[in-house]
């Protein structure tokens, strides 16, 4: 069963009921992510499932797809960075519980028993933003074409003359 995204959810009840949430979340509602975007237009599609695995570990399966509008730092053009997130977040009550999570789980600290799902989605999208956004297909090694054309032959080694003097002195 799919439902709209509530503001905060009680994690224990969500896991027990094996709740599923699907929908879209506009970038304009994500205040922390919005600052990293070139424009707040657009939205992220999400699918959230609460459940327990065979070992009884409560988890949140999060799938998010979005085209983040970023400013390319090479061309200064806006481009949409395709982002696909598929994470299994192990729900832990204390930081010490992180060590008990099996491989493939990322920890999600639920200190007070409830979480803001929109904030979790926003956190994952923030982590997907590159430090230096560069549009796919833009070469990373940049060469100034005017500098390549003006390239002069390398100057002679200044110590070559000394080597010649040394050879003359050794021949005497």
Domain annotation covers residue 71 = yes
Mean pLDDT of the chain, nearest integer? 87
pLDDT of 42 strictly over 60: yes
DSSP tag of 139: -
Domain annotation covers residue 148 = no
Alpha-carbon torsion, ordered 83, 88, 93, 99, to 10 deg:
-110
Sorted by sequence, the CB contacts under 8 Å of residue 121 that are 6+ apart come out as 25, 44, 46, 48, 62, 64
Pairing mode of beta strands 20-26, 9-10: unpaired
Tell me which of 35 and 156 has the higher pLDDT.
Answer: 35
154 SS3 class: coil
Could you tell me what percent of the chain has a pLDDT over 70?
80
pLDDT of 1 strictly over 50: no
Query: What does the pLDDT look like over 54-84, one tens digit per residue?
Result: 999 999 999 999 999 999 999 999 999 999 9
Sorted by sequence, the CB contacts under 8 Å of residue 14 that are 6+ apart come out as 50
Domain annotation covers residue 98 = yes
Domain annotation covers residue 48 = yes
The CA distance from 86 to 81, in Å, is: 16
Write out the residue range of the structural domain in which residue 114 sits. 2-143
Domain annotation covers residue 170 = no
DSSP states of 1-69 as a string?
Answer: -EE---SSEEHHHHHHTT-EEEEEEEGGG-HHHHTTSS-S--EEEEEEEEEE-TT--EEEEEEEEEEEE
Distance of CA 39 to the CA centre of its chain: 18
pLDDT of 127 strictly over 60: yes
End-to-end CA distance of the chain: 99
Query: What does the pLDDT look like over 93-107, one tens digit per residue?
Result: 999 999 999 999 999
pLDDT, position 139: 75
The CA distance from 76 to 7, in Å, is: 36
Domain annotation covers residue 171 = no
Domain annotation covers residue 67 = yes
DSSP run (H or E) holding 84: strand 78-92
Number of domains into which the chain is organized: 1
Domain annotation covers residue 89 = yes
Query: Is the Cβ–Cβ distance between 40 and 25 less than 8 Å?
Result: no
pTM: 0.77
């Amino acid at each position: 069963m799919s439902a709209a995204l509530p503001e905060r959810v009680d994690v224990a009840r969500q896991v027990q009921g094996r709740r599923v949430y699907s929908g879209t979340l506009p970038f304009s509602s994500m205040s922390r992510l919005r600052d990293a975007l070139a424009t707040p237009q657009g939205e992220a599609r999400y699918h959230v499932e609460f459940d327990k695995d065979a070992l009884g570990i409560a988890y949140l399966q999060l799938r998010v797809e979005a085209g983040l509008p970023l400013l390319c730092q090479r061309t200064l053009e806006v481009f949409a960075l395709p982002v696909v997130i598929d994470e299994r977040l192990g729900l832990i009550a204390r930081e010490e519980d992180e060590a008990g999570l099996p491989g493939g789980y990322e920890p999600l600290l639920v200190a007070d028993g409830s979480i803001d799902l929109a904030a979790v989605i926003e956190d994952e999208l923030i982590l997907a933003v590159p430090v230096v956004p560069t549009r796919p297909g833009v070469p990373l090694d940049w060469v100034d074409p005017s500098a390549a054309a003006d390239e002069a032959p390398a100057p002679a080694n200044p110590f070559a003359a000394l080597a010649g003097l040394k050879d003359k002195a050794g021949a005497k």
